[in-house]
Chains A and B, each alone.
Chain A
């Protein structure tokens, strides 16, 4: 289910990006919604790709839902904020950490905040949700079995009966 949802999100995000690009071919001035579609679509695609990779069979993505949701909010929220925010007007504008508000959102929000979420989520869930010792041993056992049956698996991997996986 998690994989299916991630795939659906990935497809929808890509369609949003496609719509943004397609709008440039329409007559008239650039469409204001194109930036929104591209920004939100990109955020969806990147988070969906992460979730797709994190999902394991039927186990879903478990507690990774939270960091993925937070990352989506950071990216999509950041893009939305800078799309509606007025441009700086001059030296009297207030600064945040030495930057005018739009620049602060872009650099600190979109550019830095995900660093505090995703890599730590990856590391903290790695042992139980990405690759445990048991997982590794299972895969290595398969590799040993495979190597026992062929000399050059990279070129002519043994062709056991294919596993039909439900689509």
Chain B
């Protein structure tokens, strides 16, 4: 089920109307301008990887929100609601809790640890917490594996959007999309990413609210939408929709608890200029997330209502739900903004992945091997190009490989990072052995069972997701191994890390 988190691998309807093309061009021009501005301010590796620890609360909020949401929130998500009913909402429902939970568990400690140690990556925090280059390297490997898969899937989605707008063909669309994100990511690093995220996040939120208002208008208000659906398919609005309770609740578990292990989001805590600004972060980012996901819900139920009421023929492909609704029921300018918003959502996610992937390659893996790259800024840029090109090639491989690669990203991040980081930074009794064991279990279980499922050799029973099972296992292994090794290793903390953990 985690597959649904990012996949957008089917072709979109042709969108090549002058207004949509013009808005897209303006959008890409603005992104380019921000990239040029950020490039002039990127002088060090710290600027490149953590924006020189110099961003404000608004930038952090919008960057975290933009990185969290990929194009799935605009295309695949509404399609899932249209198909699976209310059960699909369990994927985004945890958003009302996750930002606060992550702030308590991680934000303050990561930000302070970053300041004390000059950390620039998420594996850095694991390495510092456990005094373990092995744990740092292992978590970097997990991140790198997931990042390349995630990026390939997102680049494919970006190629589909560009092809739909400009008629470039898929392959050229992928390369153009990759080149645009790469241009500002290589030159301006995460600084460019954060400030384009601010622009992109604002665009996504505004577009989502406007489209939601149109869905209410078209459907006769929420009551009208509900009545039409209830007349024809009441099960759609039952608590779990077409899903079983375990499948829906599993989404809540994986996307709720797993949110504490998403490096492209939690990495941004390092960047906040003033740690005490975190005070209002959970409120702002939660509101931003919920507002931006109005479209996810609104378009899904509105299209279901229109189909149920006989006004629209059933969609041949659920992924057409958003394009169909926009092109038929909203002004073309709004449709254009949303399509640019889809590109924005994908690009902001890709940019974040590029950055953490490059950091894993040029910073964490060398540190794990006891070395350090001489010029991290230069090698960070080179790594960004290398990872992006590899992801683009993967995206264009024939067959369903890219779908497979995109499946396990969220779950892999969650199972490898949540125990070691979110629990470990708050529990002095956690041990290096526990961290290494849990990261290893998360990595192996996720890759092994996702591969078996992909080749149709073995799948878990209905309702059980690989992501959920691997997250549960890695947490239990973390507790178990930490307990078993408590006499030998528990409690050995550097004083500064102990101080940060006690604050």
Contacts and interface: CB of A to CB of B under 8 A. Distances in A.
B494 A157 contact: yes
A14 B472 contact: yes
Contacts of A51: 104
B286 interface: yes
Interface string A64-90: 000000010001000100110101111
B290 A53 contact: no
Interface in B239-294: 239-240, 244-246, 249-250, 252-253, 256-257, 260, 275-276, 278-280, 282-283, 286-287, 290
Given A119-B282, A122-B283, A155 B99 contact: no
A83 to B, nearest CB: 6
B234 A88 contact: yes
A75 B100 CA distance: 14
Given A52-B423, A53-B101, A167-B429, A154 B486 contact: no
Interface string B80-121: 000000100110111111011101111011001001111110
A130 B108 contact: yes
A24 interface: yes
Contact of B105 (A52, A106, A135, A147): A52
B452 interface: no
Interface stretch (B4-12, B65-73, B460-468): B460-468
B227 to A, nearest CB: 5
Contact of B93 (A14, A15, A53, A106): A106
Given A25-B461, A91-B230, A139-B503, A38 B249 contact: yes
Nearest to B422: A49
B119 to A, nearest CB: 6
Given A24-B246, A123-B280, A130-B108, A164 B502 contact: no
B494 A160 contact: yes
B500 interface: yes
**Residue of A25, A138, A142 contacting most chain B CB atoms (<10 Å):** A142
Given A18-B476, A142-B495, A167-B491, A100 B237 contact: yes
Given A98-B222, A160-B494, A135 B97 contact: no
Interface string A23-56: 0110000100011001101100110011111111
Contacts of A34: 245-246, 463
Nearest to A141: B499
Given A30-B463, A131-B278, A160-B494, A119 B286 contact: yes
Nearest to B283: A119
B275 A99 contact: no
B493 A106 contact: no
Contacts of B86: 102-103, 106-107
A151 to B, nearest CB: 10
Nearest to B289: A115
Interface in B449-503: 460-464, 468-469, 472-473, 475-476, 479, 486, 490-496, 498-500, 502-503
A143 interface: yes
Given A24-B464, A85-B239, A119-B283, 13 more contacts: A17-B472, A52-B427, A54-B104, A88-B235, A106-B239, A107-B297, A118-B96, A119-B282, A152-B118, A152-B372, A154-B367, A162-B491, A164-B491
21 contacts: A21-B468, A25-B461, A25-B464, A39-B249, A42-B249, A45-B257, A49-B104, A49-B422, A50-B97, A53-B104, A88-B234, A90-B230, A98-B221, A106-B90, A107-B86, A107-B297, A115-B96, A131-B278, A142-B116, A163-B495, A164-B491
